């Protein structure tokens, strides 16, 4: 009984693994083209994980498995947000995938395995468990992108993603092995201790750090490791693109926090310079290249690159407030990304992908409500008040300003102004251009409800951001008290 009680922080992971096994068996026994039972079981699994995560939450920081797994407030908050975003992704993509014959048990099982990889990444406090979580997530995503086997574009983007992802994993492993050589440990807290109080080989550590930052930059999609982002976002079916562009960003934030902040805070003087270059290049390349795109998925891919640059600003500040604002930015970005890609799927029909900018022409005449929701999402991505995107940008810029990075803040504001152009262009197309098609837009009631909640949440969180902001700040603070 003591053993069971001591395993309570991993109950959610154990429950999810059992449910994936049950779902795979049940799906074989039930013949149903619409996969309703499987879909409901998947949603039940995510709900169950949420309830277990809340029920097993403990004050303070709990370590398990010889310090390889940590349960703290930051991990619990990020896990709950991950379940929510995966659940939203499934609601948005259900009718889209059914029309294309892709709403299969394999898709849902891969989504749950990827979720499990994210959960492990979020709670890992050892380089080995971090890497295992990352690979479980990455391999699930490669398979999801390639799920549309008869599509040459999807297969090509899956190959690119797989090859570049393997290279990034190699960078990470090489960097981790160098750090192990320098400190004699793979434990996040032990490494921080050795760097601070021991006499590690500094040259070896800085080299290892460079490789780790390169691997992290790839996973975030930061320039110059961004080559895969536009191709994968464009080539994959929109549902898979939505998945890649949402929940994994929360796990990537946790990855950055565990490695750079918890393990290598004493080396901040070395890694902050690297992150500064990544942040500036990401904001520049992301925002400027997005202007030239005519495909909205590629445009949102470049916008993701720019947003990741903004998220790194909070990490650069080196303060608890900065890390909190960075986490807040990641959460807000996921919410906006779900809405943006959700809208593309809602406008798509059988045999037709609404992924061109011209497909949004005159949307206000065809569906004023959908146009208004898209307007809120685009305003938020551009950082226009009173949407939550404005507050997210303001909080990371303020954190960077407090840390004295004034030139960086000035550049970020300038690139943000450039970025506003391509978001507002979509608003202009929806409200001021004539529609190319007058075909009626039919949307499932659950998707209509979700896109409405999604759009209005962006507005309400912008007017009252305090609660979410303080949750992020407190959870980061509690987690860094070890």
Do residues 57 and 9 touch, judged by C-beta distance below 8 A?
Answer: no
Q: Is 295 helix (H, G, I), strand (E, B) or coil?
A: strand
In the predicted structure, residue 1 carries a pLDDT above the cut 70: no
In the predicted structure, residue 382 carries a pLDDT above the cut 70: yes
Handedness of CA 88, 92, 98, 103 (dihedral sign): negative
Q: What is the pLDDT of residue 212?
A: 92
More confident residue, 446 or 427: 427
In the predicted structure, residue 481 carries a pLDDT above the cut 70: no
In the predicted structure, residue 417 carries a pLDDT above the cut 60: yes
HEC profile of 178-200? HHHHHHCCCEHHHHHHHHHHCCC
Q: What is the pLDDT of residue 185?
A: 87
Do residues 121 and 130 touch, judged by C-beta distance below 8 A?
Answer: yes
Q: What is the pLDDT of residue 194?
A: 87
* Residues 59-73 pLDDT 10s: 888 888 888 899 889
Q: Which of 149-153, 172-176, 288-292 has the lowest mean pLDDT?
A: 149-153
What is the domain partition of the chain in residue ranges? 2-479
Do residues 265 and 253 touch, judged by C-beta distance below 8 A?
Answer: no
Q: Is 63 helix (H, G, I), strand (E, B) or coil?
A: strand
In the predicted structure, residue 266 carries a pLDDT above the cut 90: no
Do residues 120 and 17 touch, judged by C-beta distance below 8 A?
Answer: no
* Residues 37-59 pLDDT 10s: 899 999 999 999 999 999 988 88
Q: pLDDT tier at 353 (50, 70, 90 boundaries)?
A: confident
Q: Is 356 helix (H, G, I), strand (E, B) or coil?
A: strand
Query: What is the chain's length?
Result: 482
In the predicted structure, residue 200 carries a pLDDT above the cut 70: yes
Q: What is the pLDDT of residue 357?
A: 87
Q: Is 182 helix (H, G, I), strand (E, B) or coil?
A: helix
Q: pLDDT tier at 95 (50, 70, 90 boundaries)?
A: confident
CA distance 79 to 102: 27
Range 291-311 average pLDDT: 91
As a whole number of Å, the end-to-end CA separation of the chain is: 28
Range 374-400 average pLDDT: 92
Q: pLDDT tier at 29 (50, 70, 90 boundaries)?
A: confident
Q: What is the pLDDT of residue 150?
A: 85
Q: What beta strand segments (E) does 86-181 contain?
A: none
Range 206-225 average pLDDT: 89
Q: What is the pLDDT of residue 327?
A: 93
In the predicted structure, residue 482 carries a pLDDT above the cut 70: no
Best CA proximity match to 475, nearest among 254, 208, 176: 254
Q: What is the pLDDT of residue 104?
A: 87
> In DSSP terms, which residues pair with 63 in a beta bridge?
70
**% of the chain surpassing 90 pLDDT:** 51
Q: What is the pLDDT of residue 141?
A: 94
| Residue 389, token pair as written in the block | 């995107």
More confident residue, 201 or 326: 326
Do residues 476 and 323 touch, judged by C-beta distance below 8 A?
Answer: yes
Q: What is the pLDDT of residue 172?
A: 92
In the predicted structure, residue 34 carries a pLDDT above the cut 80: no
Average pLDDT, the chain: 89
* Residues 112-138 pLDDT 10s: 999 999 999 999 989 999 999 999 999
pTM above the 0.85 mark?
A: yes
* Residues 267-277 pLDDT 10s: 888 888 889 99
Crossing angle between the packed helical segments 73-99 and 247-256, to the nearest 10 degrees: 150
In the predicted structure, residue 186 carries a pLDDT above the cut 60: yes
CA distance 392 to 64: 34
The gap from C-alpha 292 to its chain's centroid, in whole angstroms, comes to 24
CA dihedral (409, 411, 413, 416) in degrees, to 10, reads: -130
CA distance 39 to 4: 30
HEC profile of 102-128? CCCHHHHHHHHHHHHHHHHHHHECEHH
50 Cβ contact list (under 8 Å, min separation 6): 80, 83, 84
HEC profile of 241-290? HHHHHCHHHHHHHHHHHHHHHHHCHHHHHHHHHHHHHHHHHHHHHHHHHH
Q: Show the CA angle centred on residue 197, arms to residues 192 and 198, nearest 5°.
A: 95
CA dihedral (333, 327, 112, 119) in degrees, to 10, reads: 170
Rg (C-alpha) for the chain, rounded Å, is 22
> In DSSP terms, which residues pair with 69 in a beta bridge?
64, 124
């Amino acid at each position: 009984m003591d053993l069971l009680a001591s395993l309570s922080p991993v109950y959610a992971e154990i429950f999810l693994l059992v449910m994936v096994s049950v779902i795979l068996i049940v799906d074989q026994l039930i013949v149903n083209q619409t996969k309703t039972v499987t879909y409901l079981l998947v949603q039940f699994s995510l709900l169950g994980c949420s309830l277990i995560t809340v029920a097993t939450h403990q004050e303070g920081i709990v370590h398990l498995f010889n310090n390889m797994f940590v349960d703290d407030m930051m991990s619990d908050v990020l896990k709950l947000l991950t379940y929510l975003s995966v659940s939203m992704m499934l609601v948005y993509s259900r009718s889209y995938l059914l029309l294309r014959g892709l709403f299969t048990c394999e898709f849902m099982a891969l989504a749950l395995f990827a979720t499990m990889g994210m959960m492990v990444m979020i709670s890992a406090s050892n380089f080995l468990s971090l890497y295992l979580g990352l690979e479980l997530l990455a391999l699930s995503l490669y398979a999801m992108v390639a799920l549309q086997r008869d599509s040459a574009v999807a297969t090509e983007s899956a190959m690119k993603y797989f090859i570049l992802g393997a290279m990034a994993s190699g960078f990470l492993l090489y960097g981790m092995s160098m750090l192990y050589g320098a400190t004699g440990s793979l434990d996040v807290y032990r490494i921080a201790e050795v760097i601070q109080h021991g006499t590690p080989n500094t040259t070896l550590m800085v080299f290892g750090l460079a490789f780790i930052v390169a691997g992290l930059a790839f996973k975030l999609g930061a320039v110059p490791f961004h080559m895969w982002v536009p191709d994968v976002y464009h080539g994959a079916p929109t549902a898979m693109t939505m998945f890649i562009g949402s929940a994994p960003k929360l796990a990537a934030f946790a990855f950055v926090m565990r490695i750079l902040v918890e393990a290598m805070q004493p080396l901040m003087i070395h890694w902050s310079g690297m992150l500064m270059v990544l942040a500036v290049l990401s904001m520049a390349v992301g925002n400027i290249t997005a202007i030239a795109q005519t495909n909205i998925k590629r445009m949102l891919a470049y916008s993701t690159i720019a947003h990741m640059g903004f998220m790194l600003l909070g990490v650069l500040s080196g303060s608890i407030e900065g890390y909190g604002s960075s986490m807040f930015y990641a959460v807000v970005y996921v919410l906006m990304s779900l809405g943006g890609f959700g809208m593309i799927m809602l406008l798509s029909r059988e045999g037709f992908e609404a992924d061109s900018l011209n497909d949004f022409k005159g949307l206000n005449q065809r569906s004023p409500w959908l146009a208004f929701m898209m307007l809120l999402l685009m305003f938020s991505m551009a950082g226009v008040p009173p949407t939550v995107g404005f507050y997210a940008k303001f909080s990371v810029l303020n954190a960077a300003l407090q840390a004295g990075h004034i030139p960086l803040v000035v550049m970020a504001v300038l690139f943000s102004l450039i970025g506003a152009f391509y978001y507002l262009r979509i608003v202009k197309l929806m409200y001021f251009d004539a529609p190319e098609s007058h075909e009626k837009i039919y949307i499932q009631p659950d998707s209509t409800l979700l896109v409405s909640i999604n759009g209005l949440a962006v507005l309400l969180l912008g007017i009252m951001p305090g609660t979410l902001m303080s949750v992020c700040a407190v959870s980061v603070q509690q987690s860094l008290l070890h």
